[in-house]
Structure 1
């Protein structure tokens, strides 16, 4: 059949939906990894058609797997593919209201599940904790999206970012994030401070990945471990933890909560709110640029 590129892409997606829908339960755990490898090969060979086909198959598999997840996990998947802040907020409002069928772009009907905002925020936070505990962050774009989802879901809850349900249960604040925050607060809010935040969020300066001592997991694979929980060095020579975006915003919120609880708002509180706002703006650029 003679078709333009747009029609070919639609035809491939329809075919993939039919085949994958029947066989998704039979797929082996390494199938996605194999697809990623094949996509990389197609990119090296400059084979755009093969790359497009493989990417459509991968996205279709992920969509089918997502539908099998709990509603709040499905919502996180949808939010990760929603670049505009206003659209994410509208999506959150609709799922919090019970979900349903809505009219999307080009008058297409979209089925949204009903989900609890607190469940969405906690799931995003759990994923963040797992990613930020690793020695290196392989996908900072995904990390930025998860931070945005957590913060926006929390902000939409009754108490906003200071809602007591948002407490991660930290008994002490992480030293690396506290040190960086003190460094920012000591300076006047300005372009240079914004650049400092941007560099750290992108994995530079205090946010640079640290590689610690090697260990082996139960499967015999080598992993790199970070230094102590509080970020201090140790006699074993392990390096302190880097500043991570999710934990950094968690620290800002904790400090703000302490200030407001003591009724001591003022310049410091305004400065911290400015830092919080600029951090979210930079994360938005990182996540969907």
Structure 2
């Protein structure tokens, strides 16, 4: 981007700040969706200038909306705009310590609210559930970011996989994720398994959105009791494998193994799958 383009972007942001700041309370819920649609059209038309300006407006709107949210929601907004894992972890530490005003990497002052790590993890999980139970995932990047935030916040709470605060009511394991995980653990850890995970996290193969969803073939929720190679016991078609639910399933299975003092090769394999999945989601997210 040359200097003129950079100046234009700043000018648009300043103008957007002024207009949006006055009218953010009057915005309809579909405004962000409309912006997303316009950004997609600009991308399809290969109009980089229009796309950039629309993205500036979207970021400004989201920034204003975030400031009106509870502290833990504000933190999620900040984390979604923090690409480096180490920076997110530092931000979470400061949030858990009560927040405050800190200097960012580019030297600007950033106000970080204090918030509860459990609230952050649960809020991210709620947002994930909303996105993942849809027939089509609207934003894979945002989805990946939310998964990372949930997992990193949970990890920082210190209770590990068996921490009861991480038990969010998943009493039965979802069919699609169980089937996919069964396929993975049947293979030796390596490039083949990593490629399978990456494809699914990107919305391909077992993770692909199905066009049948438009005809109402999906359940609109999770179907459990799946066993690899068998049809659904309910006769209903489950949702595809979703990143957040997949990691939740891996954690549940690992928790069961550790609770039974039966750790070994399978546990090591599952931990490898968990780690590689997070690495892949980091690549997708940013």
Partner of 1:117: 117
SS of 2:106 mapped into structure 1: helix
Partner of 2:250: 252
Partner of 1:70: 70
Aligned counterparts of 2:138 and 2:69: Cα–Cα separation in 1? 24
Partner of 2:219: 226
Please state how far the C-alpha of 1:45 moved relative to its aligned partner. Answer: 5.5
Partner of 1:219: none
2:282 is aligned with 1:284: yes
Please state how far the C-alpha of 1:48 moved relative to its aligned partner. Answer: 4.2
Aligned counterparts of 1:207 and 1:50: Cα–Cα separation in 2? 31
How large is the Cα RMSD of the aligned pairs? 2.3
SS of 1:101 mapped into structure 2: strand
Residues 266 and 100 of structure 1: is their aligned pair in 2 closer, same or farther, counting only changes over 3 Å?
same
SS of 1:4 mapped into structure 2: helix
Aligned counterparts of 1:234 and 1:140: Cα–Cα separation in 2? 29
List runs of 5+ in structure 1 lacking aligned partners: 216-222
Aligned counterparts of 2:155 and 2:200: Cα–Cα separation in 1? 23
Aligned counterparts of 1:189 and 1:46: Cα–Cα separation in 2? 40
Q: Give the paired residue count.
A: 278
2:210 is aligned with 1:187: no
Give runs of aligned pairs for residues 1-289 of structure 1, distance below 5 A: 4-43=4-43, 47-212=47-212, 225-226=218-219, 229-230=223-224, 232-233=231-232, 238-288=236-286
Q: Find the structure with the greater CA-based Rg.
A: 1
With the length of structure 1 as denominator, give the TM-score of the two structures. 0.87
Residues 56 and 164 of structure 1: is their aligned pair in 2 closer, same or farther, counting only changes over 3 Å?
same
| 8 Å CA contact 1:211, 1:224 repeated in 2 | no
Please state how far the C-alpha of 1:234 moved relative to its aligned partner. Answer: 6.5
